[in-house]
Amino acid sequence: MVVASSQPQSSTSAISGIHRKNRRRMTKKATLSSSALDDADVDQNMEETHPVTDILPPNGSDDDDIVIDVDEAPASLPNTSAAPAFAPVSADALRTTLKSETRRIPIPPHRMTPLKKDWINIFGPLTEILGLQVRMNVQRRTVEARTSKHTKDIGALQKGADFVKAYALGFDVNDAIALLRLDDLYLDSFEIKDVKSLQGDHLSRAIGRIAGQDGKTKFTIENASRTRIVLADTKIHIMGSFQNIKIARDAIVSLILGSPPGKVYAGLRTVSSRMRQRAL
């Protein structure tokens, strides 16, 4: 009785264990299939968003020779690396049309009489070459110049002021007119006391050494350095290029400090010979 009752219990427990194992396998298969479907959907989405085209070599070469095409940038985008190119601005655009520029150049009292005599020679270049409007104010002792519609150069007013100033300092009209035609000419002024403080007869002898007998030393410095020099009492004015002004100023400073004219002449010969060699 006991043995007969124990056999059906063991059989039912075995059957229930088999059903449980089958259920576990089915659930595992279901989870695996669902995960595989999810991976396939992700791969499909990646392919749609990032398309990549592989071009295989025709002769069946190695895998290292595979070339991948990448979408090129559209040709309509501007080239940001190149610098922008702008057209040059004309002088007419820069010139103010509403209000013209005006300049007043003071004239010393002792240069008013020569200015009246040479006014035609001064008035002509300012109006014809630079296109300025010029007038002489006798009461204020100034020369007034302003731009007009005929002025083409932006720096015409400054050139005209330098031309009149050079004449007021004592330069000849034919020498001062070079300031209008050439761009590398300048004016330099200094006094003897800037080099050395001299008084009385020492100052007079220094001025005499610069001028020389009948102006011989001054003319020699001008010809050797290709400049123009005006010796007005204790003030010295030099007109020329930057390098030539330096040569003439060094010679004059040597004379002021007491160097004999012969030594200065020798230095000027050396400098002039070097200038000729550079010109060749």
Residue 30 scores a pLDDT above 80: no
pLDDT for 242: 92
pLDDT for 240: 93
Residue 108 scores a pLDDT above 90: yes
pLDDT for 97: 47
Residue 82 scores a pLDDT above 80: no
Question: CA 200, CA 185: separation in Å to the nearest integer?
Answer: 35
pLDDT in tens, 228-251: 999 988 899 999 999 999 999 999
pLDDT in tens, 178-231: 998 888 899 999 999 999 898 889 999 999 999 988 889 999 999 988 999 999
In Å, how far from its chain's centre is CA 64?
A: 52
Q: What are the boundaries of each domain within the chain?
A: 99-181, 186-279
| Ranges assigned E (strand) in 12-109 | 53-55, 67-69, 102-106
The CATH H-level (homologous superfamily) assignment of domain 99-181 is: K Homology domain, type 1 (3.30.1370.10)
Is the whole model's pTM more than 0.95, yes or no?
Answer: no
The DSSP result for 7-29, as a single string, is: HHHHHHHHHHHHHHHHHHHHHHH
Give the burial class of 166: count Cβ atoms within 10 A of its Cβ; 0-12 exposed, 13-18 middle, 19 or more buried: buried
Mean pLDDT score of the chain: 78
Q: Do domains 99-181 and 186-279 have the same CATH topology?
A: yes
Q: What topology is assigned to 186-279 in CATH? A: Ribosomal Protein S8; Chain: A, domain 1 (3.30.1370)
